[in-house]
């Protein structure tokens, strides 16, 4: 019988929640990496036993952890205990947390500043990894979205990381500016049909696409309208919160923006609003059903200054028409006095026949639905604030 | 032997309990001690000093002999008591929120 493994990153450690295909009874294990901020935990689609973790702290910086056995044991890539501390060539190991911006003349344009909150130039400074996206085919290859916004890639299982510098260097980088949460690259979507095509999103610069495996990039923000920037339809500067796609239809993208829920049917060339009858179109995550490419989920949040659900009612909204027509999903969710938030990477869907939907809250609850959102139940209620949720569907 | 005390999070990363004892060739300085520490425990690279600039991370402090040595130059000699092993070189997470 199939089972699911839910990977939860929180402000104070990682948790793994497991269940069988019924998704009624859950085993909760953790915290792993206790006391550290776990921005993201994600398994490789090519090898579900290979799991990568972004672990960080204000004191000690960034750490990358890796498991090769489905989460039973972990190590920092390149430094398992007992192994030599240098490579055969004499080079020091222990560089899995070394994220250095490319400034080389060959591949890294001499791009040294972006725009600071006050409009002045500010040097790029690595702060943390927000999102890890393992390759669809190769467990050794992973993309990392970082703050200050840049895209890195490892091809050796996380031992070393190199920037895909064409993104920052494509021309608009000097005008990017951080949102309130920092200037983070938080979304990485790999096109399952075209290995050269990658979509990414940055707060607050917008969405970008490469069609040559990361060498060159261009903004894909036509149709976005943002009243919080001087030119509401500018090429960059939009605070995109998250993008989602269904693997069977990678040219169709769904976006939750700072305000507005958007859709593109041409791989980001143009966007149109699909907020429809949502009670508010502010929010962070957006997710697509495991099998129905026109069924999408958002969690409306009252406003950019009040990061909690409207009226104290925690409601997931589902559209079965690819947007515009939305229905509230409330069964099993608190419908009074609820003032939690759901962050951009804190939703996930499984691929079981009856699609499971999951989300975590800043109040430490992780909710699951085993019937595509019709009803919900908490897996666990009192974790630290949840930063990310991913799910693996296992045989 | 140079005695080094790590904060709990770094002990866990390095898979050690208690103090770390390092053989370090003279001169005994912050830099030579940290170089030896990172050579023995490469998983600590980047957690105490920046990978590239080798500057101390802002919320990491260095104490020894009841003194804060965090702002001493990295190549200044550490106190004799640290060089002799009588006192430990302490790496401490600064008091901060969170």
Neighbours of A339 (CB within 10 A): 15
pLDDT at residue B69 tops 90 = yes
pLDDT at residue B96 tops 80 = no
What distance lies between CA A384 and its chain's CA centroid? 19
DSSP per-residue string spanning A259-320: B-EEEESSTTS--EE--TT-S--B-S-EEE-SS-TT-EEE--BS-SSS-S-GGG---EEEES
pLDDT at residue B97 tops 60 = no
Cβ contact (<8 Å) for A57 and B15? no
Tell me which residues of chain A have a pLDDT lower than 50.
Answer: none
Question: Which value does ipTM take for this structure?
Answer: 0.91
Q: Number of A to B CB contacts under 8 A, please give it.
A: 61
Q: What local confidence, expressed as pLDDT, does residue A90 receive? A: 65
Q: What local confidence, expressed as pLDDT, does residue A163 receive? A: 96
Q: What local confidence, expressed as pLDDT, does residue A105 receive? A: 81
Q: State whether residue A36 sits within 8 Å of chain B by CB.
A: yes
Q: What local confidence, expressed as pLDDT, does residue B48 receive? A: 97
DSSP per-residue string spanning A363-374: TS-EEEESSTTS
Cβ contact (<8 Å) for A59 and B38? no
CA distance A49 to A242: 26
* Cβ atoms of residues A169 and A151 within 8 Å: no
pLDDT at residue B98 tops 60 = no
Place of tokens 């800043």: A362
Cβ contact (<8 Å) for B9 and A59? yes
pTM for the model? 0.95
Domains within chain B, CATH numbers bracketed: 2-93 (3.10.20.30)
For the beta sheet containing B67-68, the strands, ordered from the edge strand earlier in sequence to the opposite edge, are B20-22, B2-5, B89-93, B60-64, B67-68
Q: What local confidence, expressed as pLDDT, does residue A349 receive? A: 98
* Cβ atoms of residues B11 and B4 within 8 Å: no
**How much is the CA Rg of chain B, to the nearest whole Å?**
12
Cβ contact (<8 Å) for B98 and A92? no
């Amino acid at each position: 019988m199939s089972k699911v493994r839910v990977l939860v990153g929180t402000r104070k450690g990682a948790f793994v929640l497991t269940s069988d295909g019924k998704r009624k009874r859950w085993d909760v294990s953790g915290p792993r990496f206790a006391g550290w901020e776990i921005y993201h935990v994600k398994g490789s689609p090519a090898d579900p036993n290979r799991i990568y973790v972004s672990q960080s702290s204000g004191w000690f910086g960034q750490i990358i952890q890796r498991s090769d056995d489905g989460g039973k044991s972990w190590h920092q890539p390149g430094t398992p205990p007992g192994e030599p501390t240098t490579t055969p060539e004499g080079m020091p190991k222990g560089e899995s947390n070394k994220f250095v911006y490319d400034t080389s003349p060959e591949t890294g344009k001499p791009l040294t500043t972006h725009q600071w909150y006050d409009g002045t130039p500010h040097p790029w400074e690595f702060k943390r990894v927000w999102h890890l996206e393992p390759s669809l085919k190769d467990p050794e290859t992973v993309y990392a979205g970082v703050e200050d916004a840049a895209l890195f890639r490892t091809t050796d299982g996380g031992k070393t990381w190199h920037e895909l510098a064409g993104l920052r260097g494509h021309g608009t980088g000097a005008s990017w500016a951080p949102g309130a949460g920092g200037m983070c690259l938080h979304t990485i979507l790999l096109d399952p049909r075209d290995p050269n095509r990658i979509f990414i999103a940055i707060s607050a610069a917008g969405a970008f696409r490469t069609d040559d495996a990361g060498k060159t990039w261009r903004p894909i923000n036509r149709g976005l309208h943002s009243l919080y920037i001087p030119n509401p339809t500018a090429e960059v500067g939009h605070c995109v919160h998250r993008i989602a796609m269904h693997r069977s239809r990678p040219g169709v993208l769904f976006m939750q923006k700072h305000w507005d829920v958007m859709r593109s049917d041409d791989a980001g060339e143009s966007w149109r609003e699909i907020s429809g009858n949502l009670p508010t179109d502010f929010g962070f995550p957006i997710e697509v059903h495991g099998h129905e490419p026109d069924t999408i989920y958002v969690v409306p949040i009252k406003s950019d200054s009040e990061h909690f659900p409207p009226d104290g009612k925690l409601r997931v909204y589902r559209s079965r028409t690819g947007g515009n027509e939305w229905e509230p999903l409330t069964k099993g969710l608190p419908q009074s006095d609820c003032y939690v938030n759901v962050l951009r990477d804190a939703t996930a869907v499984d691929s079981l026949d009856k699609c499971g939907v999951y989300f975590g809250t800043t109040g430490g609850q992780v909710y699951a639905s085993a019937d595509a959102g019709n009803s919900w139940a908490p897996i666990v209620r009192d974790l630290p604030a949840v930063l990310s949720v991913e799910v693996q569907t296992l045989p | 032997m140079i005695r080094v005390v790590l904060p709990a999070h770094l002990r866990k990363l390095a898979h050690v309990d208690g103090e770390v004892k390092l053989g370090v060739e003279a001169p005994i300085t912050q830099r030579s001690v940290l170089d030896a520490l990172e050579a023995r425990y490469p998983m600590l690279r980047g957690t105490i000093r920046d990978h590239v600039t080798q500057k101390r991370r802002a919320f990491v402090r260095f104490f020894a002999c009841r003194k804060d040595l965090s702002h001493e130059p990295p190549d200044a000699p550490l106190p004799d008591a640290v060089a002799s092993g009588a006192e430990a070189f302490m790496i401490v997470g600064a008091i901060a929120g969170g």
